[in-house]
């Protein structure tokens, strides 16, 4: 938690005010038993009513001051803790946005969600408690012991023995609690993960009638979370009776010893009352410790999880030449690649050159490394061995943002954001004019569909809006890539849901964008229309050339061609 103290710097004035108010409350609490002793010894026992009234009035005034301080302190504590949480949440969000895929792979999505919500809320609550009672409680214990010694050192000496023992015991509990609550947070990650998978895969669950299986899976994970939380809470709660028992024995000892001291004339009644009062306040403060211990244990676990995200170091080189590239000639030179923490190479010594403006299809069986090859170009992953050049510049020498800004990448799965059709297209270029948006939609063969939507470009999609078909989503994603007029267009199986005619029109329209275009495809109909084909097999580039050339030289390509021709003939016969 202390690690995050720099986040309090902007709020130091509010923190100082909250702490001063908390100290005011504390001072009043420590002064009240002294005043009570005065009222008993100098007022009641001396039968001096005016003194009782005078000190009684001061006690009421001080109590009101403590009440007002407490109220205002809560106001500042809430402001500081919420702002603190907001700032950390924002910083983590920014950090996650800067993550490479290698870093992202270290944190499951559900875990990042828990860290950004639940873990930060833990820190917020701890800070709020910190400004309200967490500091007050130990100071109240310390102040009560000091004041007790000031009132009567003999009677107070019991505190000097008991309280350090209690504190050591509480620290031990906190250390164990921290470990247990780390387990709790990890279990919460699992619950969130199951929940997320269920929400995403609801259609599949219904189609496969897997409702009961999923309910069981969810019950198991929540049950495990419940048990881990109970274990943590039980341990913390068990500390409370132990603490009360020890402190009550200490107070009984003070009463017993105090009585003989009063009899001997070594102490006054008011002094015994004051020390017992300090003892009771100390007990109340120490019993707050079990909550504090719980908050600290949880927040310790949470702060470790938050630090893990914030401290993640990126190895990716971001800065580089601001000039970018002009034409879009791509050259792979002996490129090999394996995913982080995986030994197996998914691309092996791949070399090829694609001239600027060319349209090239990348083909190969499933898992042959097509998507991996694509992801290396915008540097979503870094090349392991070998080099990739665009217009003779090694891609790592180009500034990462400049490089990516010149590439239109359409991933395999079309991702749309909640918002309008227009917003989804202009996501590719925030300052795109309406004319540019319409031209991109037209080229992506989605214009007609948009014109038929209730509010055309202003139609909301996704939640509370219209739903688009798989093919429509793909074309909208292509429009998003085209609107930025990329020098390099990467379509990762983005035309799979398009019929032959639409795909033909799309590829024709792309010519107007004069980009170098790479398209991953499984379809011979696409391969027939492009300038060249790269054929991958198990991470190796086994053939390259036009459709006609590959039919002659590559048995694998011919096999794919024949199987698709046969399929087509079967479909025709069935119709
Ligand atoms: N993030 C990842 N981490 C580890 N291995 C991965 C990752 N993504 C893919 N792989 C592995 O890399 C290999 C190549 O995958 P890739 O997605 O590049 O193939 P592909 O040719 O695009 O397949 P498909 O046509 O099925 O999309 C596969 O064996 C796959 O299991």
Contact 92, 116 (CB under 8 A): yes
Final residue of a structural domain among 466, 485, 504: 485
Contact 129, 78 (CB under 8 A): no
Alpha helices in 265-381 (DSSP H): 269-310, 370-376
Residue nearest to atom 23 of ligand 1 (CA): 367
DSSP run (H or E) holding 54:
helix 49-97
Q: Is the CB of 364 under 6 A from ligand 1?
A: yes
Cβ atoms within 10 Å of 227's Cβ, excluding its own: 13
Final residue of a structural domain among 438, 467, 485: 485
128 and 204 in a single domain? The answer is yes
Q: Is residue 316 part of a domain?
A: no
Residue nearest to atom 10 of ligand 1 (CA): 339
Burial status of residue 480 (CB atoms within 10 A of its CB: 0-12, 13-18, 19 or more)? buried
Contact 410, 490 (CB under 8 A): yes
What span, in angstroms and rounded, lies between the C-alpha atoms of 77 and 129? 8
272 and 133 in a single domain? The answer is yes
Q: Could you list the residue range(s) of the whole structural domain that residue 547 is in?
A: 323-406+487-575
CATH number at residue 356: 3.40.50.300
Q: How far is the CA of 371 from the centre of ligand 1 (A)?
A: 7
Q: Is the CB of 534 under 6 A from ligand 1?
A: no
ipTM over the 0.90 cut-off: yes
Matching residue, tokens 């009550």: 248
Q: Is the CB of 366 under 6 A from ligand 1?
A: yes
194 and 343 in a single domain? The answer is no
Q: Is the CB of 369 under 6 A from ligand 1?
A: yes
Q: What is the pLDDT of residues 404-418, one digit of tens each?
A: 888 988 888 888 888
Please say whether the dihedral angle defined by the alpha carbons of residues 467, 469, 473 and 479, taken in this order, is positive or negative.
Answer: negative
Token pair listed for 241: 């009776």
Q: How far is the CA of 424 from the centre of ligand 1 (A)?
A: 27
398 and 252 in a single domain? The answer is no
Q: How far is CA 559 from CA 151, 545, 565, 566, in A?
A: 98, 16, 10, 11
Residue to probe by mutation, ligand 1, list 369, 492, 493, most atoms within 8 Å of CB: 369
**3-state secondary structure at position 271:** helix
Q: What is the DSSP string of 121-160?
A: HHHHHHHHHIIIIITHHHHHHHHHHHHHHHH-HHHHHHHH
Residue nearest to atom 29 of ligand 1 (CA): 367
Alpha helices in 377-469 (DSSP H): 400-405, 421-426, 434-443, 447-451
Q: How far is the CA of 573 from the centre of ligand 1 (A)?
A: 35
Q: What is the pLDDT of residue 490?
A: 92
Q: Is the CB of 57 under 6 A from ligand 1?
A: no
User: Structure pTM?
Assistant: 0.70
Residue to probe by mutation, ligand 1, list 345, 346, 493, most atoms within 8 Å of CB: 346
Residue to probe by mutation, ligand 1, list 102, 348, 370, most atoms within 8 Å of CB: 370
51 and 34 in a single domain? The answer is yes
Atom number, ligand 1, closest to the C-alpha of residue 101: 1
Measured CA angle at 287 (ends 178, 138), to 5 deg:
80
Enter the DSSP assignment of 318: -
**3-state secondary structure at position 477:** helix
Residue nearest to atom 2 of ligand 1 (CA): 339
Matching residue, tokens 């170098």: 516
330 and 475 in a single domain? The answer is no
Matching residue, tokens 């694998």: 556
Residue ranges, the chain, pLDDT below 50: none
Q: Which of 298, 311, 300 is nearest to 2 (CA)?
A: 300
Contact 240, 286 (CB under 8 A): no
Q: How far is CA 492 from CA 271, 361, 414, 517, in A?
A: 83, 10, 10, 11
Q: What is the pLDDT of residue 532?
A: 93
430 and 554 in a single domain? The answer is no
Contact 337, 372 (CB under 8 A): yes
Contact 448, 479 (CB under 8 A): no
Contact 31, 62 (CB under 8 A): yes
- Phi then psi dihedrals of residue 99, to 5 deg: -65, 140
Q: Is residue 247 part of a domain?
A: yes
Q: How far is the CA of 339 from the centre of ligand 1 (A)?
A: 9
Q: How far is the CA of 367 from the centre of ligand 1 (A)?
A: 5
Q: What is the pLDDT of residue 322?
A: 79
Largest CA distance in the chain: 119
Token pair listed for 504: 């033909």
Final residue of a structural domain among 485, 517, 543: 485
Residue to probe by mutation, ligand 1, list 365, 372, 374, most atoms within 8 Å of CB: 372
376 and 394 in a single domain? The answer is yes
Token pair listed for 262: 């009063």
Q: How far separated are the first and last CA of the chain, in Å rounded?
A: 69
Q: What is the pLDDT of residue 201?
A: 81
Q: How far is the CA of 32 from the centre of ligand 1 (A)?
A: 72
225 and 347 in a single domain? The answer is no
Enter the DSSP assignment of 380: S
Phi-psi region of 441 (alpha: psi -120 to 50; beta: other; left: phi over 0): alpha
Number of domains forming the structure of the chain:
3
């Amino acid at each position: 938690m202390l690690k995050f103290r720099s986040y309090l710097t902007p709020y130091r004035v509010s923190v100082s005010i909250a702490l001063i108010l908390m100290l005011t409350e504390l001072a009043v609490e420590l002064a009240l038993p002294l005043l009570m002793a005065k009222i008993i010894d100098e007022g009641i026992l001396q039968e001096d009513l005016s003194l009782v009234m005078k000190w009684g009035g001061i006690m009421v005034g001080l109590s009101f001051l403590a009440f007002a301080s407490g109220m205002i302190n809560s106001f500042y504590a809430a402001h500081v803790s919420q702002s603190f949480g907001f700032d950390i949440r924002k910083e983590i969000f920014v950090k996650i946005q800067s993550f490479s895929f290698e870093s992202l792979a270290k944190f499951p999505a559900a875990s990042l969600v828990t860290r950004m919500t639940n873990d930060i809320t833990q820190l917020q609550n701890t800070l709020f408690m910190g400004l309200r009672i967490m500091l007050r409680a130990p100071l109240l214990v310390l102040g009560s012991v000091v004041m007790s010694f000031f009132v009567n050192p003999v009677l107070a000496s019991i505190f000097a023995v008991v309280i350090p023992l209690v504190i050591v015991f509480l620290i031990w509990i906190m250390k164990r609690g921290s470990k247990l609550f780390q387990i709790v947070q990890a279990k919460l990650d699992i619950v969130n993960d199951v929940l997320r998978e269920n929400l995403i895969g609801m259609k599949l669950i219904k189609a496969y009638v897997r409702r009961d299986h999923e309910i069981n899976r969810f019950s198991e994970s929540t049950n495990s979370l419940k048990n881990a939380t109970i274990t943590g809470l039980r341990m913390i709660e068990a500390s409370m009776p132990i603490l009360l028992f020890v402190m009550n024995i200490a107070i009984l000892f003070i009463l017993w010893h105090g009585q003989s001291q009063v009899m001997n004339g070594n102490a006054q009644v008011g002094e015994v009352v004051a020390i017992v009062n300090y003892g009771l306040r100390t007990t109340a403060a120490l019993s707050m410790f079990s909550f504090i211990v719980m908050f600290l244990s949880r927040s310790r676990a949470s702060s470790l999880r938050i630090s893990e995200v914030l401290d993640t170091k990126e190895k990716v080189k971001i800065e580089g030449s601001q000039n970018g590239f002009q034409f879009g000639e791509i050259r792979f030179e002996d490129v090999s690649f394996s995913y982080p923490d995986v030994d197996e190479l998914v691309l092996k010594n791949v070399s090829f050159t694609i001239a600027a403006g060319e349209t090239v299809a990348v083909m190969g069986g499933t898992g042959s490394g097509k998507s991996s090859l694509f992801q290396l170009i915008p540097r979503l992953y870094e090349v392991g061995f070998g080099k990739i050049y665009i217009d003779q510049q090694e891609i790592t020498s180009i500034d990462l943002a400049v490089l990516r800004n010149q590439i239109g990448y359409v991933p395999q799965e079309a991702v749309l954001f909640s918002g309008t059709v227009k917003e989804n297209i202009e996501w590719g270029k925030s300052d795109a004019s309406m004319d540019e948006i319409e031209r991109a939609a037209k080229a992506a063969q989605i214009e007609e569909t948009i014109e038929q939507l209730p509010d055309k470009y202003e139609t909301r999609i996704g939640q509370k809006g219209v739903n688009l078909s798989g093919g429509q989503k793909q074309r909208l994603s292509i429009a998003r890539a085209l609107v930025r007029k990329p020098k390099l267009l990467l379509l990762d199986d983005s035309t799979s849901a398009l019929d032959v005619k639409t795909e033909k029109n799309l590829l024709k329209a792309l010519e107007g964008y004069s980009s170098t275009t790479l398209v991953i495809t499984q379809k011979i109909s696409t391969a027939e229309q492009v300038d060249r084909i790269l054929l991958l097999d198990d991470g190796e580039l086994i053939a390259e050339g036009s459709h006609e050339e590959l039919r002659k030289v590559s048995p694998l390509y011919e096999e794919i061609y024949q199987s698709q021709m046969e399929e087509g003939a079967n479909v025709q016969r069935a119709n």
